[in-house]
Chains A and B, each alone.
Chain A
Amino acid sequence: MKSLILITLTLITLDLFSQNGREWIERYDKQTEVNDQKVTLTMQLFSKNGNMRERKLLWSTMEDAEGLSSSYIVFNAPADIAGTAFLSIERSSEAEDQWLYLPVLRRSRRISSNEKSSSFMGSDFSYADIGNENTDNSTYKLIEAVANDNGRKLKVIEACYNSEDRIKETGYAKRLIFIDASNNMMIKTDYYSTNEKHVKQLKCSDFKVIDGTSKLRAHRYEMKDLQKGTSTVLLFRNYQINKGLDSGIFTIRNLENN
């Protein structure tokens, strides 16, 4: 009887932690949720021996009433890729149309949707890393209610994809997401491969409230690939959130004629 009570209490506690984990992720999700966003981005790619290559781009995103997103990215530097632009239009949660505009060819080219685990623009970020958190695809467990990082109270949430397909697609079996309890922002994520190896680490810093909104944004993201020894730093500036971006940005016309 005593052991039955103990098991029941343990299950209830686990369920509570699970609920709390999801709750924290949903709070974070709400903070990052936008209708549209435009941001200038500097991407610094560091090799294993510290050599740095830099790319500059303008990144616009928009979500429609059905929650389907569109992205438009145009590279401004370096000169050999300046003018290259990328358009992605999500048709459903599983399918999207993508085109690349290459100034040398003077035409757009339909490309296949990238696998979620493949590199985003040659960086240490994968397409899965930069996408929004879809809470339907994972289970969340609050594994540490309180942890300390430079005096901040952190919540540590273990996120596991809930389908083998999603695990195969992203390459991750588990993520440990560290959320600052004071502002609901994610400050760190540790990524674990299917064989439980710690493969990547993302750190977010330089948090600022965006003018005219209550939205807080990290202005610096650093992703380290712990296996390859490389890292990528994304420096964001000139955030424009919910300014009512013209939907014409996310069209072939804009891709080819702008």
Chain B
Amino acid sequence: MNKLKLLVFLTLLSTTPLLGLAQDRFYMSGKLHYSNFSYFSDKQDNINGRNEGLLQVELSSKRESPVQWSAVSELREDLSDASRKRLWIDELWARKRFGSLDVTMGKQIISWGTTDGINPVNNINPIDYSDLLETDDETIGVYALRLQWFFNMADIDAIYTPVASFGVLPDIDSRWFPSAKMMGLHAPLDDIDLLNIKKNEPNKTLANGEFGLRIRKRLPGTDLAFSYFNGYDHLPGYIPDMNRDNSPEQGMVLIENYRRQQVIGAELVFMLPWGWAFRGESALFIPEDDDVNAEKYVQTVAGVDKNIVLSSSSLRVIMQYIYDYNIDGGDYEDFDLRHLFTNSPMGNIDWTFHNGLSLSAMGIYNFDADGYFINPGVSYTATGGLCFSVQADILGGADESFFGNYSFNNRVRIKMSYRF
């Protein structure tokens, strides 16, 4: 399979000299970036700094062409962390219009939701969390058939994924791999030697397919949507392999545990006075009953935002609240990516100047766990599309909180990127 991907990628690259001749038939675009991650403190036996390069090439049909298509391939190379290396197809799809119906087939990324950064209703595509904080552009495409029927300022979006895809979590030697304590393994932390994680993805059969449905309506000043998803939670939980001796002397082996779930979602956007907008979405998660952690829960994100245009700059302000309600009343495990922000305000400011300079800051605090994440950054986009950015990731809080547990991962990200 990897050879096939390599072949497709090289084919795309090898055709680039011909692209100039074919510009009237399709577009070529893409991006190239180099990132350096430097942690403030070293951690023994872990990767303490990374240098990563990425090349993404996209070929796509011209606008208004009768059959639209897109092919996006990505090459990522990391000098320090082998688990970050990849060569794959991000997207590979074709779309045809039949009257008011759009039919899209192939590997695609489908984005539902209306709030910023966190979207409880967006469950079709898995995400690569191998670096927990570097999730821009880390959505994994799924092979799906998508039908979109548009009518009278409304649309129905139906998606069928015959073969489920799953997310990526940090490797054992990653600084982002959770400690035994964080995973709720109640054994002395230092006594556990994690030997391995056994992959345990559900069989890739039609019986394990996924489907989703979303209905949207646009009213004057208001957008509304309701959605339903029946498929897998694309992130695993971990359970000890009970078929072996997991004593401290023998070391522990973990098995991934994926659960199937239904998600019922609702979205709402409406305009407020003085240029403010309200955005909110909420999703009810109903895991299958036979799962060991089958708690039902509701996640809600709601907030306001405004874009303020100044004389030589524009300022974007976002304020949101994230609330996670466990219907069954139990406590979540400390390390559970589904429930990082159970009771959390979030703020984001983006100040972009017309000369290419941009200042940004994002902050989030979890009242329940007393943990926080702050992400200030500065970037400059030069004429011609070259962009330089520096960002800091600052995590902290109580020892028992998710972010408090990762406070040793405070770091600076330096990135140089070019879009073409």
Measured CB to CB, the closest approach of chain A to B115, in angstroms, equals: 10
Which chain B residues (367-420) contact chain A, with CB distance < 8 Å? 381, 383-385, 387, 419-420
Digit string of A42-59 for contact with B (CB within 8 Å is 1, else 0)?
Answer: 000101000111000000
Asked if residues A112 and B383 are in contact (CB atoms below 8 Å), the reply is no
* Cβ of A73 to closest chain B Cβ, rounded Å: 13
B106 to chain A: which residues have CB within 8 Å?
Answer: none
A112 touches B102 (CB 8 A): no
Q: In the bound complex, do residue B419 and residue A110 qualify as a contact, i.e. CB atoms below 8 Å apart?
A: no
Q: Is the CB of A107 within 8 A of B155?
A: no
Which among A80, A107, A112 is the interface contact of B307 at CB below 8 angstroms? A112
List 16 A-B residue pairs with CB atoms under 8 Å apart, sorted by A's residue number: A45-B354, A53-B356, A79-B31, A80-B419, A95-B220, A95-B221, A97-B218, A109-B114, A112-B272, A115-B309, A122-B354, A251-B150, A252-B218, A253-B148, A253-B155, A257-B68
In Å, the complex CA distance between A119 and B315 comes to: 12
> In the complex, what residues of B have CB within 8 A of residue A109's CB?
114
**CB–CB A112/B220 < 8 A:** no
Question: CB distance B309 to A51 under 8 Å?
Answer: no
CA distance A53 to B221 in the complex (A): 34
User: Chain B contacts of A53 at CB under 8 A?
Assistant: 354, 356, 383
Q: Which residues of B contact A19 (CB under 8 A)?
A: none
Q: Are B111 and A107 in contact (CB under 8 A)?
A: yes
In the complex the two chains form, is B385's CB within 8 Å of A118's CB? Answer: no
Contact partners of A51 in chain B: CB under 8 A? 355, 383
- The distance in angstroms between the C-alpha atoms of A120 and B114, with both chains bound, is 24
In the complex, per-residue mask of A80-114: 1 if CB is within 8 Å of any chain B CB, else 0: 10100000000100010100000011110111111
Instruction: Please name the residue on chain B nearest to A83 by beta carbon.
Output: B29
Q: Do residues A79 and B420 form an inter-chain contact, with CB atoms below 8 A?
A: yes
Taking CB atoms and an 8 Å cut-off, the chain B residues in 278-311 that contact chain A are 306-307, 309, 311
B346 in the interface, Cβ–Cβ < 8 Å?
no
Contacts of B309 in A (CB 8 A): 114-115, 118-119
Q: State whether A78 touches B385 (Cβ < 8 A).
A: yes
CB of A80 within 8 A of CB of B385, answer: yes
A159 interface contact, C-beta 8 A: no
A172 to chain B, nearest CB (A): 15
- On B, residues with C-beta under 8 Å from A are 29, 31, 63-64, 68, 95, 102, 109-114, 137, 148, 150, 153, 155, 218, 220-221, 223, 269, 271-272, 275-277, 306-307, 309, 311-312, 314, 354-356, 381, 383-385, 387, 419-420
**A251, B102: Cα distance in complex, Å:** 14
Instruction: From A45, A51, A104, A107, name the one whose CB has the most chain B CB atoms within 10 angstroms.
Output: A107
CB distance from B87 to the nearest CB of A (A): 22
Instruction: Give Cα A106–Cα B29 distance, bound, in whole angstroms.
Output: 16
Closest B residue, CB atoms, query A47: B355
19 more A-B contacts (CB under 8 A) besides A105-B111, A111-B277? A79-B420, A95-B221, A106-B111, A107-B112, A110-B114, A110-B223, A110-B271, A112-B306, A113-B271, A115-B275, A118-B309, A122-B354, A251-B150, A252-B155, A253-B155, A257-B68, A257-B95, A258-B63, A258-B68
Query: A90 to chain B: closest CB distance in Å?
Result: 11
Q: Are A257 and B148 in contact (CB under 8 A)?
A: yes
Given contacts A109-B114, A122-B354, A230-B312, are A80 and B387 in contact (CB under 8 A)? yes
**Dominant SS among interface residues on chain A:** loop
Residues in A209-237 with C-beta less than 8 Å from chain B? 228, 230
Report the Cα distance A78→B155, complex, angstroms.
31
Q: How many residues of A contact B (CB 8 A)?
A: 34
- Minimum CB–CB distance for B33 against chain A, Å: 12
Q: Which residue of A lies closest to B100 (CB)?
A: A253
Contact B150 A253 (CB under 8 A): yes
A interface residues with partner B (beta carbon < 8 Å): 45, 47, 51-53, 74, 78-80, 82, 91, 95, 97, 104-107, 109-115, 118-119, 122, 228, 230, 251-253, 257-258
B221 touches A97 (CB 8 A): yes
Please judge, given known A-B contacts A80-B419, A114-B309, whether A253 and B102 are in contact too, CB under 8 Å: yes
Residues of B within 8 A of A112 (CB): 271-272, 275-277, 306-307
B269: which A residues are within 8 A, CB to CB? 110
CA distance A111 to B318 in the complex (A): 13
Alpha-carbon distance A106/B114, docked complex (angstroms): 11
**Residue picked from A80, A119, A251, most chain B C-beta under 10 Å:** A80
Judge whether B311 and A228 touch: CB under 8 Å: yes
Q: Are B277 and A106 in touch, CB under 8 angstroms?
A: no
Nearest-neighbour CB distance to chain A for B68, whole angstroms, equals 8
Which of A47, A82, A95, A118 is in CB contact (< 8 Å) with B29? A82
Leading 3 A-B pairs by shortest Cβ distance: A79-B419, A118-B309, A106-B111
Given A53-B356, A74-B63; A79-B29 close (CB under 8 Å): yes
Distance in angstroms from B19 CB to nearest chain A CB is 14
A52 to B29, CA, bound (A): 23
Q: Which residues of B are found within 8 Å of A45, using beta-carbon distances?
A: 354
